[in-house]
Amino acid sequence: MLSLAIVVPCYNEQEAFSICVEKLKFVLNKLKEKNKINNQSYILFIDDGSKDDTWELIKSASQHDAMVKGLKLSANRGHQIALIAGLANTSADISISIDADLQDDLNCIEKMIDKYNAGFEIIYGVRNDRSSDTNFKKKSARLFYSLMNFFGVNQVPDHADFRLMGRSSINGLKQFKEQNIYLRGLIPLLGYKSTNVYYSREKRVAGKSKYPLKKMLALALEGITSLSVTPLRIIALTGVVICFFSVFTAFYAFFEKINGNAVAGWASVTIAISFLGGIQMLSLGIIGEYIGKIYLESKNRPKFFIEEVTNNFLQSNEKVNG
């Protein structure tokens, strides 16, 4: 039988933790009863530098139940890095990542395992119902996926980070060394055989969302600039178009001058300067974003540092990867 690790990134989740751990333990026990997974299966919580009592709750739970393990990052590194830290330090045959808010359907875990046994290496959890979302959330989600598709980022629409990965795909993922991580676009690049399971997302079990609009926009920017050079090509194309029209404008101004029809005025000059200045500043900003990423990647710094792990985690892992 397979061993399963459920990987759960946590940031300030003390309100949701007790509900989360009990529901996940219930799922694991049911799967063990059905002989879908073995007794070495466990839940791995990753504390992403929480400011509340999340880590203390994880340690306490691990002392009372061997199937609960945990590791604590030394600082808040963001959801994607926390997820990488968890996946890189699992010892199970398969790993399923899920958020601590448990908005993703736990019933899909068994379906994912069945799909893996059918020969798929990666199984994505995909939402097929957004009726619980606000109109703003629905429209912003559609815009998000449309933009990512336009900029050439290959990802599964309506999939977040609820997925199953086998040992082969996790080992492949660990070979990516970049600092700027967007897993939803990175994992499809692995190329392993994959499929989807569909579900309707629930409300948070407790606490507040850790992904407000600001963070969602930052995630989109990370994904685009980490996995696509399309913005740079748009800058080049914009430059070509502006040059093309500038040539015609120059000829027009020249003939108007010869014919004596030129009229002195500041409006047209001001508009042209403002327009071109705005294009230049926008272009420099986009180029600067890419240069900044090159700068960070060139340092080759570790993605994360692990400050502490639970005792039972050390017993099942010979070393901790950073």
Checking if the pLDDT of 4 tops 90, the result is yes
DSSP letters, 33-93, are HTTSB-TT-EEEEEE-S-SSSHHHHHHHHHHH-TTEEEEEESS---HHHHHHHHHHT--SS
Sign of CA dihedral 123, 124, 125, 127: negative
pLDDT in tens, 81-114: 999 999 999 989 999 999 998 888 999 999 999 9
Q: Is 149 found in the same domain as 272?
A: no
Query: Tell me, what's the pLDDT at 318?
Result: 44
The CA distance from 95 to 104, in Å, is 15
Q: Which residue has the higher pLDDT, 298 or 165?
A: 165
**Residue 123's domain spans which residues?**
4-227+302-316
- Evaluate whether residue 213 is within a structural domain: yes
How much is the mean pLDDT over the chain? 82
Q: Is 146 found in the same domain as 261?
A: no
CB atoms within 10 A of CB 234: 14
Q: Is 306 found in the same domain as 283?
A: no
Query: Tell me, what's the pLDDT at 44?
Result: 97
Predicted structure pTM score: 0.75
Q: How many domains does the chain have?
A: 2
- Evaluate whether residue 108 is within a structural domain: yes
Q: Is 172 found in the same domain as 30?
A: yes
- Specify the CATH number for the domain of residue 111: 3.90.550.10
